[in-house]
Structure 1
């Protein structure tokens, strides 16, 4: 059986009071969905907002001095700052902070089923909602104000914010995938029902990888790879690769969806966990040589290795994001959680503890990738 990855230590993430923020029902520190690091700056996102939050490294190794950046200051969002973006991926690369929304639909939650209103609850669940801000993919220039402190700006020299088209009815990624034999049928299915749901983001230069929580196809998770350019109108647009605007890679994850990704040299680390609204374990996998992959298709299982099983807790500590953490060792990762366990949280100081875990890159396999007859 695989061994649970040891937690090296924890890193405190301290936020300002979240209550003045509009449209936010839960404290930011209890609802983190993505993380990215640039120098001594840690960027995180809450999936209820249309913003990113920056925390700065403090002398004791914690992260604080919270700064809030509303994304409608950089982009013309279809629903402005009042529309939830469901940000699920962040990546700092090449002087930019990259951001991706889930690109997913959602089904209305049932309410009233326990108080004699089961019919109303059933009717409510007929509603499938499309929130246009969720269909976002873009980047913002970062400038280094002082050593290690990076700030998103509307202009950094010749660099400016750019995004793929994100409209009220259909976004760019939706248009590019509408004829895809594997993915098109899932574009109209809500997330957490094995519908289309972007949750992982990795970037190197003009190459972008999007990891899908759903759909999972016959036990295989999907990674979409694109090479992006900026048009004369300042839009991000995918170049054609082999006649399409993307490559599609299928990885045998034994039915688990991708929750986050990060490039590590030529390899791609994938945080994987349950696709549907169920409780279950999470793992970190290593796709060896992903950055050298130049053809679409099903990835050879021998190139996928389990490097960590994350601690599992029922109804708490759902792993949502990971980032390389080299100061703790060459194989160390920072992991942030949604629904953090009570002992992680200091509600008076708006603080939550993230884990630094030690992975084992030389493992030859594990529970996920033992060959079966």
Structure 2
């Protein structure tokens, strides 16, 4: 898989989504969070076969994106750089990729390129030109108790907001927040796909849906994956860099207090679980794929989980 530097493997895999298999093979889209492009791959007989890259942004802010570029009060102002993709989803013949929508972790910079949402048509095996939207920031800025954390530093003290999970169910787009983590709760923010990509420069008009749920102390969302019935698998892990376990939860957004833990992931040295995809659901059992940041080519593993 393609890393940030030429001929270097990806070591920052942060999201994956796969379309339903055709002929036994899965066509997937992956994101390496330090790139301007996403990358297609084929999952076949237990192997991930890299495919072409798909540029998401160029070297300057897009003139045709829906909505308008937000003004974010990060500690420092930065340039338009990498997309900083943190979540990937597939629904209704489209892939979606979302940027982190947070200040850069090390330098605390506002980089506009990481405050975009992309939608890519994926019909007939070909990918279309990405549609881009600035409107996710409108949702976050109106999302109740998490809104004050937009533009804050990504550290234990400030608990600044950033996105690491994405799922689309019907017209509902779900954003999973790595932070803030508040009183043992993590958060999803939901909005309308149609509203986010409506042509024009107007801000998002719809009210966001905020879903808090028990995730454990200092844990936040690391990825999301939808099930056929609309429930979500939630990969959770440290909200910043705390020593807390990674786990997969089952969440019904209509009853978030009843969230259930399906299993914890084994500890892997210097590996951060950040990518989750459902491969199959059979007789109450799930097959899922988990990928890792800080490991060459994502270090993907397959797990089987019992579904209540």
If the length of structure 2 is used for normalisation, what is the TM-score? 0.81
Tell me by how many angstroms 1:206 deviates: 1.8
Deviations 1:24-52 (A, max 9, x none): xx631x21110011232121110001111
CA contact (8 A) 1:45 1:52 kept: yes
Residue 76 of structure 1 deviates from its aligned partner by: 5.4
In structure 2, C-alpha distance between the alignment counterparts of 1:139 and 1:236, rounded to whole Å: 18
In the TM superposition, what whole-angstrom CA distance separates every residue of 1:160-188 from its partner, at most 9, and x where no partner exists? x43322xxxxxx33334435541232112
Equivalenced residues, count: 281
| Residue of 118, 124, 128 corresponding to 1:153 | 128
Say which SS state the counterpart of residue 326 (structure 1) adopts. strand
Q: Secondary structure at the match of 1:34?
A: strand
Q: Does the 8 Å CA contact 2:116/2:132 hold for their aligned counterparts? A: yes
**SS of structure 2 residue aligned to 1:189:** coil
- Residues of 2 paired with 1:32 and 1:300: CA distance? 28
Query: Where do 1:243-258 residues align within 5 Å?
Result: 244=207, 246-255=208-217, 256-258=219-221
Q: CA deviation at 1:317?
A: 2.2
Shift in Å at residue 279 of structure 1?
A: 3.4
Q: Deviations over 1:82-117 (max 9, x none)?
A: 7111101001110111110010002545xxxxxxxx
Q: Does 1:277 align with 2:259?
A: no
Q: 1:174 aligns with which of 137, 159, 162?
A: 137
Map of 1:334 onto structure 2? 289
Structure 1 CA distance, aligned partners of 2:136 and 2:99?
Answer: 11
1:227–1:238 contact (8 Å) kept in structure 2: no
- Residues 226 and 300 of structure 1: CA distance in aligned 2, closer, same or farther (over 3 Å): closer
Aligned to 1:185, what secondary structure does the other structure show? Answer: helix
Q: What whole-Å deviation, never above 9, does each CA across 1:155-214 have from its counterpart, x for those lacking one?
A: xxxxxx43322xxxxxx3333443554123211212244210011100023210101000
Structure 1 residue 77 displacement after superposition: 3.7
Alignment of 1:46-195 (within 5 A): 46-58=32-44, 60-72=45-57, 77=62, 83-108=81-106, 128-144=108-124, 150-154=125-129, 161-165=130-134, 172-193=135-156, 194-195=159-160
Task: Specify which structure has the bigger relative contact order, considering alpha-carbon pairs within 8 angstroms and separated by 6 or more residues.
Answer: 1
- Counterparts of 2:4 and 2:181 in 1: how far apart (Å)? 35
Task: Please report how far the alpha carbon of residue 300 of structure 1 lies from its aligned counterpart in structure 2 after TM superposition.
Answer: 5.0
Unaligned 5+ segments in structure 1 are: 1-14, 110-127, 145-149, 155-160, 166-171, 294-298, 346-350, 363-373
Question: Partners in 2 of 1:64 and 1:254 — Cα distance?
Answer: 36
- Contact persistence 2:39–2:50 (CA under 8 A): no
Instruction: Give the conservation status (yes or no) of the 8 Å contact 2:143–2:189.
Output: no
Secondary structure in 1 matching 2:288: strand
Matches of 2:223 and 2:6, distance apart in 1: 29
Measure the CA separation in 2 of the matches of 1:138 and 1:327: 28
Unaligned runs of at least 5 residues, structure 2: 64-68, 70-78
**Gap change, CA 1:61 and 1:141, over 3 Å in 2:** same
User: Aligned with 2:122: secondary structure?
Assistant: strand
Structure 1 length-normalised TM: 0.68
Q: Distance in 2 between matches of 1:225 and 1:190?
A: 23
- Cα distance change, pair 178–92 in 1 and its aligned pair in 2 (3 A): closer
**2:89–2:168: 8 Å Cα contact kept in structure 1?**
yes
Q: Which residue in 2 is equivalent to 1:115?
A: none
Distance, in Å, in 2 between the alignment partners of 1:33 and 1:217 is 23
